[in-house]
Structure 1
Amino acid sequence: MPILHLSILLASIWVGVFLTVIDETMTATLLTPISTSFNSFTNLSWIATTYLIGVSAAQPIVGHLTDILGRRESLVAANTTFAIGSLICGLSKDLPTLLAGRSIQGFGGGALGTIAAVIETDLVSLRNRGITEGIGGILYGVGLAVGGIFGGGINDAIGWRWAFLIQVPMVVFSTGIICVLARIPKKPSATGASPMKRIDYVGLFSILVSVVMLQIGLDSGGNTLPWTHPLVLTSLPLALTTFIIFILWDLYVADEPIIPIRLFRQRNVALSCVVYFFTLASYFTSIYYLPIYLQIIGYSTTQSGLRFITQAAGAAVSTFSAGLLVKWTGRYFHLNLAAQTIFVLGTGLLIILRLDTGPWAPFLFLAFIGLGFGASWVTTMMALLSSITNEQQAVMQSASYLFRFLGMMVGFTISSAAFQKVLKASLDVSLAGQPNAAELIEKVRTNFTDWRNLTPPVKKDVQDGYMSALHVVFYIATAEIAIGAFASLLLEENELPNDLR
């Protein structure tokens, strides 16, 4: 394909992906005002995790469906779904409606990211993928930076709902570009079967049920409901059962499985998914809980969003630099070692944050996290894609994205449960002598901004309680990235070809 045509096509695809990245840090910045407007700070994690339910549901099926239905058709459907979800979020009048919109938005956003990666695999050689990933990394970094500022600024000026509503016309514009420019042939059927007959319905249904039930069980247990509640005791076993059905069906029965399970016997394929799971669990936990720390020490949502500029810049620079190095050298092992070291360092430094820590610290720590994350994204992808054939890459890209977002979902759920448990325990001790202590504790846990109106001594006790909970979350994030980094060091270094395979 001519360079100009390829550039225009990729740019049209990246428009939609860019909006989903903006939404990522925008929502992280808006978690507090959104949950406070519904008096539901204890359900804060659901605002993030319902989006992740949609994302995780999309990941395992998108590669399979794009092979069958076509790349352009799938892109248009993904953009439309994201726009509908954004509209529902902006117009929501209660928390359940917002959460429904977030799950729809997540499905569309998750599909967009995967389809973009699949199309790059179709059109760009593995050695040159470093360049396109680098350009995508710059857009990703800019999106991360703009998202926090955009969300915080819109919230401070006209309210958080408009942060979602403004995205709708942008997505419509992106969809129009795709309809005109995206002309990618469909993958032909080896058997001649019609597209609808080729879809692995049993595999699709079982993995969707498994992902959703896992999220419901993990996010409810120990947070909004006790672990012994019937909902938890039902959803987690059902998640395990449907996952086993999915594995057995796709391994022994399906003609065109959603995910070729046998590929996980390859060392780099299995290890790459482990790396994605743990690094994304750590990364997502950090970017969602650091804004709470920043607002606890007195920053507004806009000021909190500004602190993420260094993370965005670090991710953009390291992704592009890693892409160039991979193209020039054809190697990625030592680059991965450096990336993981920086990633672990940046996350571990979050543990030393205190109420009186200097204002420079969040900028520096987030820069390290961004640098490590961006480069490790490229190196892990190279290890995975260099271990499989071009025909296998669409479905395996879906599988890798599934593990990334499962990591986000499980990691954030565990951190949220730990955060709420430690916060409540800390406040129970520090506010025990206050009049109407139980009512006060419930108030500051459900409405985040109420602590600012307390008397100075009580306010300090609440801040200390939040810091105790945040430190536990940052320890969890550090442990997760340490596991992911260790797994990445076991990846084998393969040759990176200059042509499409």
Structure 2
Amino acid sequence: MTVSSVAVTDLIPLLFGLGAGLGGPLGGWINDTLGWRAAFLLQTPIMVFSFILVAVKVNIKLPAEIEDQPIFERLKRIDFFGSLTLIAISTGSVFAGWMMRRTGKLYTLTLMSSLMTIMAGILLVFWRDNSSPIHLWLDIVPQGFGMASFITTTLIAMIAGVAREDMAVATGVTYLFRTTGQVLGVSLSGTILQAVLQKKLQERITGAGAAEIIDMIRHSTEVVRTLEPHLKQAAVDSYADALRVVFICQTACNVLGFLASLPIQENPLPGSPVEQQKLITEQESSDNDTDV
């Protein structure tokens, strides 16, 4: 059961990435053969099927004490302030698009976005169990904002760096590798977390029954609140150490992303006046060659 759950958890984003990777080339082929209208119309049956499948199969049952609560009480359970950290992802993408549209440039924006993720990652490393919620919130928001901006600018850089007929393939490959990285990131982070957590727990919890207690702590964080004070503190400290190592690895990956973005070329962006002028110049040059 555990193996199947882990397999499904990894397969879902992997299949999503596979679909995103194939969608670009397939959509480009349909556009070239049947037209752009067909590229959209052919998606309709698939989306309708997905809607029906979710409506029929996804049935989330809440506990009885929650279902019996009035709407106002249910709304009070929502962490609206924490949800703002998720909005940072969408805001970062929109901001990156607005800046590229306004300036026609992406290189500096890409580097600044990458540096933002590095700085946020460094701040995450210094999290403590007594850190204020404002500190945590201010660390997460720049991380999401910078990463959203970074993946947007790098995608546009890829599209701007290839020929127009190769844009669909480049987009598909970008999404495929991005989602593959997400799957590997979750898997490797979980592996590092469990390895460090087990080591730290074995150092802090000893004596009779230690193995059973450590096993329970590793497989369920809900157990921590039920432990005796000294065991609870040992579990919290061990989780903090393990998460700190994960954040260090994440920051190292952010640094690698920054270094990998340094060679990006500043090509004219698709649809920008610079690109349009470039196309006009190429067309005039082609016409002159034909006349000759």
Same fold (TM over 0.5): yes
Deviations, residues 419-462 of structure 1 (Å, cap 9, x unaligned): 111111111221112x3111111122223211111111111111
Deviations, residues 22-70 of structure 1 (Å, cap 9, x unaligned): xxxxxxxxxxxxxxxx9x6x99865642322222332332223334553
Match of 2:287 in 1: none
Instruction: Rate the CA distance shift 1:47–1:427 in 2: closer, same or farther, 3 A.
Output: farther
Partner AA of 1:481 in structure 2: N
SS in 2 for 1:350: helix
Deviation, structure 1 residue 87? 5.4
Q: Please say if 1:395 is aligned against 2:166.
A: no
CA distance in 2, matches of 1:488, 1:456: 47
SS in 2 for 1:307: helix
Q: Please say if 1:381 is aligned against 2:155.
A: yes
Aligned-residue sequence identity (percent) comes to: 23
Partner AA of 1:73 in structure 2: L
CA distance in 1, matches of 2:139, 2:44: 36
Deviation, structure 1 residue 86? 7.6
With normalisation by structure 2, the TM-score equals 0.77
Is the Cα–Cα contact under 8 Å of residues 308 and 363 in structure 1 kept in the other structure? no
Is the Cα–Cα contact under 8 Å of residues 156 and 302 in structure 1 kept in the other structure? no
CA distance in 2, matches of 1:373, 1:459: 34
Match of 1:489 in 2: 262
Q: Please say if 1:343 is aligned against 2:114.
A: no
Match of 1:157 in 2: 66
CA distance in 2, matches of 1:376, 1:312: 16
Is the Cα–Cα contact under 8 Å of residues 65 and 74 in structure 1 kept in the other structure? no
Q: Please say if 1:418 is aligned against 2:199.
A: no
Structure 2: 5+ residue stretches without partners = 31-38, 68-76, 280-292
Misfit runs of 4+, over 6 Å: 153-156
Is the Cα–Cα contact under 8 Å of residues 319 and 378 in structure 1 kept in the other structure? yes
Is the Cα–Cα contact under 8 Å of residues 56 and 406 in structure 1 kept in the other structure? yes
Q: Please say if 1:62 is aligned against 2:23.
A: yes
Instruction: Rate the CA distance shift 1:424–1:497 in 2: closer, same or farther, 3 A.
Output: closer
CA distance in 1, matches of 2:5, 2:203: 23
Structure 1: 5+ residue stretches without partners = 1-37, 93-152, 159-300
CA distance in 1, matches of 2:65, 2:180: 32
Is the Cα–Cα contact under 8 Å of residues 307 and 362 in structure 1 kept in the other structure? no
Match of 2:221 in 1: 448
CA distance in 2, matches of 1:90, 1:380: 38
Deviation, structure 1 residue 391? 2.5
* The one of 48, 53, 70 aligned to 2:14: 53
Map 1:327-366 onto structure 2 (within 5 A): 327-366=101-140
Instruction: Rate the CA distance shift 1:67–1:326 in 2: closer, same or farther, 3 A.
Output: closer
Match of 1:21 in 2: none
Match of 2:46 in 1: 77
With normalisation by structure 1, the TM-score equals 0.46
Partner AA of 2:192 in structure 1: A
CA distance in 2, matches of 1:489, 1:403: 19
CA distance in 1, matches of 2:234, 2:65: 27
Deviation, structure 1 residue 480? 0.8
Match of 2:248 in 1: 475
Instruction: Rate the CA distance shift 1:452–1:410 in 2: closer, same or farther, 3 A.
Output: same
Deviation, structure 1 residue 157? 3.4
Partner AA of 2:236 in structure 1: Q
Q: Please say if 1:459 is aligned against 2:232.
A: yes
* The one of 204, 212, 215 aligned to 1:430: 204
CA distance in 2, matches of 1:410, 1:316: 23
Larger radius of gyration: 2
Deviations, residues 96-142 of structure 1 (Å, cap 9, x unaligned): xxxxxxxxxxxxxxxxxxxxxxxxxxxxxxxxxxxxxxxxxxxxxxx
Instruction: Rate the CA distance shift 1:354–1:74 in 2: closer, same or farther, 3 A.
Output: same
Partner AA of 1:56 in structure 2: G
Q: Please say if 1:307 is aligned against 2:216.
A: no
Is the Cα–Cα contact under 8 Å of residues 45 and 416 in structure 1 kept in the other structure? no
CA RMSD of aligned residues (A): 3.3
Q: What is the total number of aligned residue pairs between the two structures?
A: 259
Deviation, structure 1 residue 314? 3.1
Instruction: Rate the CA distance shift 1:62–1:372 in 2: closer, same or farther, 3 A.
Output: same
Deviation, structure 1 residue 406? 0.6
